Structure 1
Amino acid sequence: MGEHCLAFIEVQNVRFSYDTESVDSREVLHGINLSIEAGEFVALLGHNGCGKSTMAKLFNGMLLPTSGSVLVDGIDTQDEARQFEVRSRVGLVQQNPDNQLVAGVVEEDVAFGPENLGVPPLEIRKRVDEALKAVDMYEYREHAPHKLSGGQKQRVAIAGIIAMETRCIVLDEPTAMLDPRGRVEVMETIQRLNREKQITIVLITHYMDEAVQAGRVVVMDEGEILTDGSPREVFSDVEFLKRHDLDVPQATELVYRLAAAGIKLPEIPLGEEECVRLFRRYLAGEAH
């Protein structure tokens, strides 16, 4: 009863400590409450060591809370008998694509997950083709993964998760090891999956210019949630973020500095195009 009222992922008063047996065990999450609805695109931000990667592993049951609970689609991740169900709903893409690719051919790699789920061969073939098309890597299906660029490898890793038909993809710093082009490829891919396939996306990143592409931004600091809202709500409070030594997008930073120098634009931009539009409005106003 009542499960239908829950969000797709419910984190309820979660605390987490590494190495709870030792005297100097450290608690990295201090009573986190967070709800993520099906179909959302959420960016999770914060300093290294603030607990973001721990959260990623809690979302798909790789780690279990020390206290509190994580529910995925109504299933408690601590229910050992149902951990398989949790992982077939939430897939995790990690930072280093080389650590995620296991086979010598791209399409075999994408087939690995569904094979482990016991999906019939004909259905696997269909899923692999569809998943590779979804990440725009179908023409590379017979290539060796180690010969691909970083961005292409990461897209193959994402395809492997899509082929398992997970309803949520958690990406832990997926572009940290990529060049700018690879970063753009991966961001475009996850935006499209969220928009066209309604896959729930949780993107853990330290790039503010990636975070503004999400529908919602959750900022963590020292194991707690600092703020949670739309990108515009979160990044408009530049002073607050700076007090916690957090960055803001470049366009936001520029306009913030101009304001400090006495040049006040009508609003805070989140990206380059908005910034340009604001300057045009400002200059047109000056000309009158």
Structure 2
Amino acid sequence: MKDAIIETKDLTFSYPADEGAEPALVLKGVDLTIERGSFVVVLGHNGSGKSTLAKTFNGILLPCGGRVYVAGMDTQDENQLLAIRSTVGMVFQNPDNQIVANVVEEDVAFAPENLGVPSQEIRRRVDDALAAVGMSEFVRHAPHLLSGGQKQRIAIAGVLAMEPACIVLDEATAMLDPVGRREVLSAVHRLNQEKGITVVLITHHMNEAEDADRVVVMDDGKVALDGTPREVFTQVDALRSMGLTVPDTVDLLDRLCKDGLDVPLTALTVEACADAIYSAVAK
């Protein structure tokens, strides 16, 4: 087993309540280990606690109870906070909120400059980060003229320039059209496969989880399901009971199954789904 880059132990969290009201727990004793180099998708409906969980991974939110460890560092330790945030980079839903400069290369250079990285090293990091997300040709462009998917890739490059071991994308594809979503997903899968960067993708798009190493489903502040995409998505009734859909392929196979056709629910991709239906009909 690989070593853990993020570990939560009996993690609880609640936001401050209105005066006279009791704070409601958003996270309720979450135990979770993210292995170094893995690609993990965290799913859940609105209010399930998935985005709150993401923000505990680099100390944006601190536990009300329990602990969060990043590469062995306790997020409650203020002296470790800079090291923690250099280890786990966050990419948020709206790229416009993360872009701070008028030129792409200046935006990507912003974080390492603030960390006191030498100029020559910054140049290398900016070039490497833009190449990693396929945006090298836009180095001197104005970010506000780019598409949503391109802006989000610039936001990812800005995080990459800090050279984190892990990137957490908190609903980073939610505001994008299908083309933009594909661009961003392709970029983060490449970072995971080619550079070994741990990726934690928080999303409500089921289809984004098909190629993950692992899927974690949050429900009511707890981990409800945890396993490979095949293990999780074959639990169709459990997912629907949590108000979640399943990938279109699994939905089709499930309906065919209930109509008496002997097809496996594990055929997640369109090609595998088509082959499974063809084989079943051919029998």
TM over 0.5, shorter chain: yes
Q: Which one of 39, 60, 73 corresponds to residue 71 of structure 2?
A: 73
Residue number in structure 2 paired with 1:18: 15
Superposed CA offset, 1:128-152 (max 9, x none): 0000000000000000000000000
RMSD of aligned alpha carbons: 1.3
Contact 2:261–2:280 (Cα < 8 Å) also in 1: no
What are the within-5 Å matches in structure 2 for residues 261-272 of structure 1?
261-272=259-270
Runs of 4+ with deviation above 2 angstroms: 20-24
Change (3 A) 1:206 1:267: closer
What is the CA distance between 1:264 and its match in structure 2?
A: 2.1
Instruction: Give the aligned partner of residue 95 of structure 2.
Output: 97
For 1:207, the equivalent position in structure 2 comes to 205
Q: Distance in 1 between matches of 2:17 and 2:4?
A: 29
Question: What residue is the counterpart of 1:137 in the other structure?
Answer: 135
Unaligned segments of structure 2, at least 5 residues: none
Match of 2:119 in 1: 121
Q: TM-score, normalised by structure 1?
A: 0.95
Contact residue 6 and residue 74 of structure 1 kept, 8 A? no
Question: What do residues 220-265 of structure 1 show as CA deviations (whole Å, max 9, x unaligned)?
Answer: 0010010100000000111221222211100000010111112221
Structure 1 segments unaligned to the other structure (5+ residues): none
Q: Count matched residues.
A: 281
Distance in 2, Cα, partners of 1:266 & 1:253: 11
Q: Which moved more, 1:234-243 or 1:130-139?
A: 234-243
Determine the structure 2 residue equivalent to 1:36: 34
* Mapping for residues 119-198 of structure 1, pairs under 5 Å: 119-198=117-196
Q: Deviations over 1:24-48 (max 9, x none)?
A: 3111001100000100100000010
How far off its partner does 1:20 sit? 6.0
- Provide TM-score, normalisation by structure 2: 0.97
Give the stretch that moved more between structures: 60-69 or 263-272: 263-272
For 1:118, what is the secondary structure of its paired residue? coil
C-alpha displacement at 1:6, in angstroms? 5.9
Q: Tell me which residue corresponds to 2:56.
A: 58
Over 3 Å counting, the alpha-carbon distance change for 1:171 and 1:262 in structure 2 is same
Note the C-alpha offset of 1:21: 8.3
2: CA distance, partners of 1:154 / 1:213: 20
Is this contact kept in 1: 2:62–2:76, CA < 8 A? yes
Task: Say if 1:106 and 1:142, in contact at 8 Å, map to a contact too.
Answer: yes
3-state SS, counterpart of residue 127 of structure 1: helix
**C-alpha contact (below 8 Å) 1:251/1:270 kept by paired residues:** yes
Equivalent residues of 1:249, 1:271 under 8 A apart: no
